[in-house]
Every structure is written in C-alpha cells, then in structure tokens.
Amino acid sequence: MRKPLIAGNWKMNLNHLEAIALVQKLAFALNDKDFDKVEVAVLPPFTDLRSVQTLIDGDKLRIVYGAQDLSPHEAGAYTGEVSGAMLAKLGCTFVTVGHSERREYHREDDDLVNTKVLAAFRHSITPILCVGEGLPVRQAGGHVAYSVSQLDGALRKVTAEQAQSIVVAYEPVWAIGTGEVATPEDAQEVCGALRTRLAELYNPEVAAAVRILYGGSVKSGNIAGIMAQPDVDGALVGGASIDAGEYVKICRLGESSG
C-alpha cells in the first residue's frame, strides 16, 4: 500500500527566516494526530535547510524535508556544489533530481541525472526523479515515450532494491507555473505508463511499491481529481506550496483522496 506524498518544491523562494515562518504555519495546521494518511514534505533552497531541520527536529513535527538538487560528486574542488553527504548530515529525506528547470537552465541531461540519482542512493536519500515532456512533444503525441525514456536514462545501474524506494514525479513542462494543469486522464496516462515501465525494468513488486506523483499547476481546486487516479500517488507542488493556507488545503485533500 503506497502512502500518498505531497511535496512542496519551493524553488528559489524564501530566505531562511521566511522558511521558518512558513514551516511554523504548516506545523500548526498539520500537526494534529489524525493527520497521518499522507506524507508531507517541503523542499526548500539549500540555505534554508538548517533552519528547517532545527524547527522540525526540535518540535518533532510531522513534516519531512529535502533539497532540490545535489552534486553527483562526493567532495572536493567543485565550487558551488552541495554533496549528498552534506544533505544526509542535515537529515534530508528527499532530493529532487532532474527537474525540468535544471534540465533546461543548467543543461542537465539523462546521464547527469542518472549520476545524481546514484549519488542520492549512496547517501540513503530518496530521489524524487522528475520527468515530463515539453509542449512540442505533447502536441506531436510523443509524451509517453519521452517520459519513459527519461525514466530509463535516470535508472541506469539502479538496483531493484534501490528502485523500489524511489519517487517519480511526472511534471509536464507545459503545465509548470502556467496555470494549465494536465487533466486527471493525462496524468494517469503517463503515470500508468511509467509504472508499467518499472515492472519491465525490474519486476511487478518494484512497480507496485514506487510512488508516482503528478506536478504542474497543482492547487486545492484540482488535486482531488488528479489523486483519484489509480497510478497517481501524490503531488509535487510548486507555487502553491509557499502559500501556507493553500498548501495545507492541498495536503488535507491529498489525505482524503489518496
């Protein structure tokens, strides 16, 4: 049985003081003890992680956290990079890898994404592997093949044991930050195909264990329909995750529709 996951990708928003304020608001709303049917995560910028860790650990909050990227390297002369070991030391549960904004603005390709997935596993951090097509690919009808090939590329040398703990996020680029959300059927089509591919690459047990999220303009008004789909196990939320009231609503709806 897959526990639904709602993860908030803050992107490059909120300094560490603003991060503390947001987590305090979320904690107040989400910390009642009935709220245990969904896992709630926040993914702040690197500079906020220590503050978020201190708050969550200190108050034993029911929120987990992670980073938005990591280096494929272990340590050394890699100016500007942050290693998996550093993130593990900060108690990160998750790290997003292969987000379309990294693929587009930092030219990350499937090979680099693959080395980052492997780096996350070396430090027992769960990768949230992002895949998804742009508008021209969608219009040409190639969205399933494109997303599946990104999955294949990212999972090279990943064992079945590792793969069963991964989180995959289907984020069609045309739906990110545009207000144009995929229909529940669009989300199911690709998430279902990704699960089928996991069964082919590994085995049915791995496919059944992996949580597959949808991301792209998720709001409280559209989450329920998307999460009602059999192969959608939660959401990777961008803009709406830095609005405490809206994110709490999304998490509550995720809990009841998961």
Residues that bind ligand 13P (CB under 6 A): 9, 99, 171, 176-177, 215-218, 236-240
- Residue 234 beta carbon to ligand 13P: minimum distance, rounded to whole angstroms: 12
- Nearer to ligand 13P by Cβ, of 69 and 255: the residue is 69
Q: Is 217 annotated as a binding residue?
A: yes
Q: Which is nearer to ligand 13P, 104 or 200 (CB)?
A: 104
Q: Is 205 a catalytic residue?
A: no
Contact 137, 146 (CB under 8 A): yes
Q: How far apart are CA 229 and CA 232, in angstroms?
A: 5
What torsion do the CA atoms of 161, 84, 173, 201 make, to the nearest 10 degrees? -20
The answer to whether the annotation marks 37 as part of a ligand binding site is no
* 8 labeled part of a ligand binding site: no
The yes-or-no answer on residue 99 being catalytic is yes
Least distance from ligand 13P to the Cβ atom of residue 8, Å: 8
206 versus 236: smaller Cβ distance to ligand 13P: 236
The conformation of residue 48, written as its DSSP 8-state character, comes to: G
* Residue 58 CA: distances (Å) to CA of 27, 52, 135: 12, 10, 44
Residue 99 Ramachandran class (φ > 0 left, ψ -120 to 50 alpha, else beta): beta
- Confirm or deny that 177 is annotated as ligand binding: yes
Least distance between ligand 13P and beta carbon 215 (Å): 4
Catalytic residue chosen out of the listed positions 101, 108, 171, 255: 171
132 is in an annotated binding site: no
Q: How far is the CB of 59 from ligand 13P (least distance, A)?
A: 26
Nearest-angstrom CA–CA distance, 137 and 177? 18
- Give CA–CA dist 229/225, Å, rounded: 7
Which of the following is catalytic: 39, 99, 108, 255? 99
Cα separation, 125 vs 166, in Å, equals 9
**Active site residue ranges:** 99, 171
- Give the residue numbers of the binding site: 9-11, 177, 217, 238-239
Which residues fall in the annotated binding site for substrate?
Answer: 9-11, 177, 217, 238-239
